[in-house]
Amino acid sequence: MKSRYKIFTIFFSILIFTSLIIYIAGASTGIGEEIDHFPGFSGILIKDLKTQEVLFSYNEDRLFTPASLTKIFTLLAALEILGKEYTYPTSFYFSSSVPGEIIGDLYVVGRGDPTQSPEVIRKIANDLVQKFGIRYISGGIILDDSKFLPEEFLGRGWMWDDKNPLIGALTVKGYITKEKQNYYFNTMPLLWGKIFSKGLSQKGVKIEGDIRIGETKEGLKVKYIYYSDTLDKILAYMMKNSDNQEAENIFRTLALEDNPEEVSTIPRAISSLERVIDKVLGLKWGKDYILVDGCGISEYNLMTPAQLVEAIIYLYQKYDFTILNYFASTKENGTLKERLPFQVWGKTGTLSSASGLIGLLETKKKRWVVFCLMENNYIAEENDPKIFENRIIEYIYQNL
């Protein structure tokens, strides 16, 4: 009897093992064929979200230019350092001894709020007038953008001929360059000031002085602080729309939270992110990965599919399925809208000869998987990497 039981146990074990090999081989064959036909360099990692079982892997530990997949690390670092409830303050300093009149200059101090479109800036002007009944400013409007190093209005490794977002402590949402030229220096805070000044004038405020850039005069007390939406909402918009300006401003803000009295610089922002990634993922900057911006425009960035998948798994383990709120979806507006006929939540990435897609989906077999696809070194005009990605995601959905 014992012999029969032993034989049955061995037979059953062999059957399970053989089924597993056939299952993995099937995945390898289906996805492997797509890899064989893709002319560029690709890396793939697919895991069971809940058990972390590897379902398929290929070049998962090789370094790739990640493009906007970089924003996964920006999301993680922002949640860890700043927190969901963080709001961006924009502070206003002035002196007033007569109701409705500002004696001297009105100072505006920015800290990198990336949500201030012209409409928002005009609303801030209106709120200020309503709150203080301002009718007259004897001086001018001084724009203090010193919390971000003004010279770093563009990021490291950004292509000179790209339409790059301008970065600063006082940001006009959506303001980009057409070429990398020195004349863009200081243009964004001055544009912010012009929009703000016009908003005041439209409410009947007379301003005697001009608009200029400078630091806040010592001894003045803050009179009013405008707060942005919560970071939770900002991150969701940034991720779903792959907003480079928002992502880069958030990245630079990390340094201010670590050192509130200091000026944010790119090296300090890198250090802030580096500490978080080391703490939660055990990865070393310069050894395991390189990241010099928060948006992914930089050609210097290097990351692996495995690192990005581990970041998603960490976020899932900490926030559960609420992390889906940060990702674009095939069922709503965003970078994935209508790209596939079934529900996928993900983050896209695109640069010249660099593409990627990372995300989560529930397969037809009701298994939740996390995946990362990265492609580099292909000629985009001849080979659309999005087709390659879609075919693999289709295979995952149908077969895993």
Cα atoms found within 13 Å of the Cα of residue 79, Cβ hemisphere only: 23
Rounded Cα distance, 140 and 83, in Å: 36
DSSP character string of 193-248:
HHHHHHHHHHTT-EE-S-EEE-PPPTTPPEEEEEEEEEHHHHHHHHHHHT-HHHHH
pLDDT digits (tens, 9 = 90+) for 26-50: 444 589 999 999 999 999 999 999 9
Q: What is the pLDDT of residues 217-262, one digit of tens each?
A: 988 999 999 999 999 999 999 999 999 999 999 999 999 987 778 8
In the three-class reduction of DSSP (H, G, I as helix; E, B as strand; rest coil), residue 310 is classed as helix
Closest by CA position to 370, among listed 3, 11, 140, 51: 51
pLDDT in tens, 299-337: 999 999 999 999 999 999 999 999 999 999 999 878 898
CA distance 108 to 117: 16
For residues 132 and 223, the answer to whether their CB atoms sit within 8 Å is yes
pLDDT the model gives residue 185:
55
Longest dimension (CA), the chain: 102
CATH superfamily of the domain spanning 34-82+252-399: DD-peptidase/beta-lactamase superfamily (3.40.710.10)
Quote the CA–CA distance of 316 and 62 in Å, as a whole number.
24
Lowest mean pLDDT, pick from 56-65, 172-181, 376-385:
172-181
H/E stretch holding 41 reads strand 41-48
- The CATH homologous superfamily of the domain defined by 87-229: D-Ala-D-Ala carboxypeptidase C, peptidase S13 (3.50.80.20)
pTM greater than 0.85 (yes/no): yes
Q: Judge if 34-82+252-399 and 87-229 fold alike in CATH terms.
A: no
CB 166 within 8 A of CB 174: no
Domains of the chain: which residue ranges?
34-82+252-399, 87-229
β-bridge pairing 211-213 and 41-48: unpaired
Coil vs helix vs strand at 386: helix
The helix/strand/coil state of 43 is strand
d(CA 219, CA 158): 40
Q: pLDDT category, 177, cuts 50, 70, 90?
A: low
As a whole number of angstroms, the distance between CA 174 and CA 195 comes to 14
Closest CA relative to residue 301, chosen from 158, 109, 197, 103: 158
| Residue-level pLDDT at 186 | 65
For the beta carbon of residue 53, count every other beta carbon within 10 angstroms. Answer: 11
**How far apart (Å, rounded) are the C-alpha atoms in residues 64 and 299?**
10
At residue 236's C-alpha, the angle toward residues 231 and 239, to 5°, is 115
| Contact indicator for 285, 270 with CB cutoff of 8 Å | yes
State the Cα–Cα distance between residues 180 and 5, nearest whole angstrom. 75
Confidence of residue 153 (pLDDT cuts 50, 70, 90): confident
CA Rg, the chain, in Å? 25
Residue range 258-298, pLDDT digits in tens? 777 889 999 999 999 999 999 999 999 999 999 999 999 99
Cα gap 232→267, rounded to integer Å: 25
